[in-house]
């Protein structure tokens, strides 16, 4: 299980770096990273600098938390329990989605983003959330 938490940390660090790249003005990989309108294929929203930085910082903090969960706080800790449950809820909720543009239960499925979301983004969120929930289970059960 510790290997999966390490892998989560690597994934978060990579995704955080991509968000910093976008915040700095980079555009590679951005064309299908946002939900798209069915009518014209344009993004439903376009995040600005602040949103990219906030998400990037959050992902880097998730990476650090994942790594610290396995090294420093490997014993029972309320901090680890609450943190892992919170991260699990965030990513499991993202995998369920908003029932329109993202997640397993999205209605709009004909856009390029929707296809990538079904094959990559949503399963990745499910995996990330599952690992954090599974890691929190022993703490929750009073290990």
Residuewise pLDDT in 10s, the chain (143 residues): 789 999 999 999 999 999 999 999 998 988 889 999 999 989 999 999 999 999 999 999 999 999 988 876 555 677 888 899 999 999 999 999 999 999 999 999 999 999 999 999 999 999 999 999 998 887 666 65
Question: Are residues 52 and 85 located together in one domain of the fold?
Answer: no
Q: Which domain holds residue 5?
A: 1-28+46-74
Question: Are residues 83 and 53 located together in one domain of the fold?
Answer: no
At residue 130, the pLDDT reads 96
Question: Are residues 99 and 52 located together in one domain of the fold?
Answer: no
Query: Do the beta carbons of residue 118 and residue 107 sit within 8 Å?
Result: no
Both ends of the chain: CA-CA distance in Å?
A: 15
DSSP 8-state assignment for residue 36: B
In a domain, 95, yes or no: yes
At residue 82, the pLDDT reads 87
Question: Are residues 95 and 110 located together in one domain of the fold?
Answer: yes
In a domain, 58, yes or no: yes
At residue 135, the pLDDT reads 86
Task: Give the count of domains, the chain.
Answer: 2
Burial class (CB in 10 A: 0-12, 13-18, 19+), 76: exposed
Question: Are residues 98 and 130 located together in one domain of the fold?
Answer: yes
In a domain, 66, yes or no: yes
Question: Helix count (H) and strand count (E) of the chain?
Answer: 5, 0
Distance between CA 113 and CA 92 in Å, rounded? 19
């Amino acid at each position: 299980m510790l290997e999966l938490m390490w892998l989560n940390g690597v994934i978060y660090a990579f995704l955080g770096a991509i968000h910093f790249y976008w915040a700095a003005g980079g555009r590679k990989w951005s064309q299908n990273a946002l939900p798209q309108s069915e009518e014209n294929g344009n993004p439903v929203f376009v995040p600005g600098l602040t949103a990219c930085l906030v998400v990037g910082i959050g992902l880097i903090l998730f990476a650090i938390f994942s790594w610290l969960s396995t090294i420093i706080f490997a014993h029972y800790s309320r901090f680890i329990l609450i943190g892992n449950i919170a991260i699990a809820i965030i990513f499991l909720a993202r995998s369920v989605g908003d029932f329109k543009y993202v997640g397993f239960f999205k209605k709009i499925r004909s856009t390029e983003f929707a296809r990538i979301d079904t094959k990559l983004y949503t399963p990745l969120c499910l995996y990330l959330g599952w690992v954090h929930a599974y890691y929190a289970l022993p703490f929750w059960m009073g290990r």
